[in-house]
Copies of this chain bind each other. A is one copy, B any other.
Amino acid sequence: MGPEQILLLLLDLLGTFAFALNGALTAVRHVRIDIIGVLTLGMITALGGGILRDIMLNDLPPATFQDWRYLAVAAFGAFIVFIFAKHLGRITVPIEVLDAVGLSVFAVTGASKAMEYGLGPVQSIILGTLTGVGGGTIRDALIGRIPSVMSEGLYAVPAIVGAGLTVAAMMADLYGVAAAVIAASACWLIRIIGIRYKLDAPTPRGTHSLED
């Protein structure tokens, strides 16, 4: 296992963990709080993006079903939320920050895995973006909420930036730990700034955003 594979695995597990926390917290707040509900939504959110990516790349069964660490990390993240659910009202765990971490990390791993599997640069950026937004989109569809990627101005843009930086680094033969961390951080930062200042992507001239 080369250093790039190890990096990909570590980032993948970080994203899995962040989305597991996020999905489990979403279950606690919006749906139901028995242990199965929390584990189910946590694991689906954590594993959905990677499974979509692996289906598209024909790397089946998906990594989730071949490597026990994905399942363990996802279940562990969701279980932590279940255990501490009664304290969550006080702690105000930053649910959107965790979503941003999963989004960033999966955008990078999705794009780099796509490049490794021989997809073109534009295709790899799109597949990276799909990997990043996939888990949260399935989560939202399951709880009957319009997915963030449809309802929020700046949800896909940071993923596109993160995946784009990853692809650029790989094409310039500069990809490694530093490049992956920079790409994921750029994505995360743009997403957090977007949330903080409620930024929107450009709208056509002569019209107004629906939120106006």
Q: Taking the nearest CB of chain B, how far is it from the CB of A162, in angstroms?
A: 14
Q: Which residues of A from 68 to 108 have beta carbons under 8 Å from B? A: 68, 71, 82-83, 85-86
Task: Determine if A196 is an interface residue (Cβ-Cβ < 8 Å).
Answer: no
Cross-interface CB contact of A201 among B34, B51, B123, B147, cutoff 8 Å: B34
* This chain: copies in complex: 3
- Report chain B residues within 8 Å CB of A117: 61
Q: Taking the nearest CB of chain B, how far is it from the CB of A170, in angstroms?
A: 16
Q: List 9 A-B contacts (CB under 8 A).
A: A31-B146, A34-B209, A35-B201, A35-B203, A36-B155, A37-B201, A61-B117, A82-B204, A141-B141
User: Chain A: residues with CB nearer than 8 A to chain B?
Assistant: 27, 31-37, 40-41, 51, 55-58, 60-62, 64-66, 68, 71, 82-83, 85-86, 114, 117, 119-120, 122-123, 126-127, 137, 141-147, 149-151, 153-157, 200-207, 209-211
